[in-house]
């Protein structure tokens, strides 16, 4: 008990040895505590921050999701629900008729983003899930998730034909054999 009392009084009155790195940064007129006036100025999020989900859209406005269920399968919290439908156009086979994410069940692990082969789901909004008064308000549907700019991806179906080879113009010096 005497050891505990000795450490208590030593720590209470600041007799402990501070970290040498802190002593180097500390100087006259330097304050190591920073205060942010929260509503007016916000602290920037780190680069790897996972915010709320969003569904990316194609340049034509349709969702990039092909309803492959890989994100729903990879989700450990089972917070993603997808119903698939088929396009009349066979270039893109399926699309989500219904796509919902329950933000209250989501554990923000990012497995759904990593599992998506078409880069259709992202967590780069930089916003938190809003506080809600009832559970149904925390379930975001496809229309709420598709707010954002269109995104192009290398796996998109080409809407135009690009020639694989171009023919060089004929050259007078070549091909004469002389």
Helix, strand, coil in percent for the chain, rounding step 5: 20, 15, 65
CB distance 55 to 146 below 8 Å: yes
pLDDT for residue 23: 63
Residue ranges of domains in the chain? 54-145
* Integer CA distances (angstroms), 78 to 111, 139, 167, in order: 11, 13, 54
pLDDT in tens, 56-111: 988 888 888 999 999 999 999 999 999 999 988 777 788 999 999 999 999 999 99
CB atoms within 10 A of CB 7: 12
Question: Would you state the CATH architecture of domain 54-145?
Answer: 2-Layer Sandwich (3.30)
pLDDT for residue 131: 86
CB distance 49 to 125 below 8 Å: no
pLDDT for residue 157: 54
pTM over 0.75: no
Look at residue 140 and tell me whether its pLDDT is greater than 60.
yes
């Amino acid at each position: 008990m005497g050891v505990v009392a000795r450490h208590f009084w030593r720590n209470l009155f600041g007799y402990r040895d501070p970290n040498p790195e802190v002593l180097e940064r500390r100087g006259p007129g330097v304050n190591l505590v920073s205060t942010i006036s929260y509503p007016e100025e916000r602290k920037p999020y780190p680069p790897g921050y996972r915010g709320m989900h969003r569904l990316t859209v194609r340049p034509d406005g349709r969702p990039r999701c092909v309803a492959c269920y890989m994100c729903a399968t990879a989700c450990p919290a089972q917070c993603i629900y997808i119903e698939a439908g088929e396009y009349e156009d066979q270039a893109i086979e399926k699309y989500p008729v219904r796509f919902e994410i329950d933000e209250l069940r989501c554990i923000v692990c990012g497995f759904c983003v990593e599992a998506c082969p078409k880069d259709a789901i992202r967590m780069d909004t930089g916003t938190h899930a809003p506080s809600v008064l009832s559970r149904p308000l925390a379930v975001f549907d496809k229309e709420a998730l598709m707010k954002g700019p269109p995104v192009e991806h290398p796996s998109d179906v080409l809407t135009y034909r690009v020639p694989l080879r171009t023919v060089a113009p004929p050259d007078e010096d070549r091909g004469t054999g002389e």
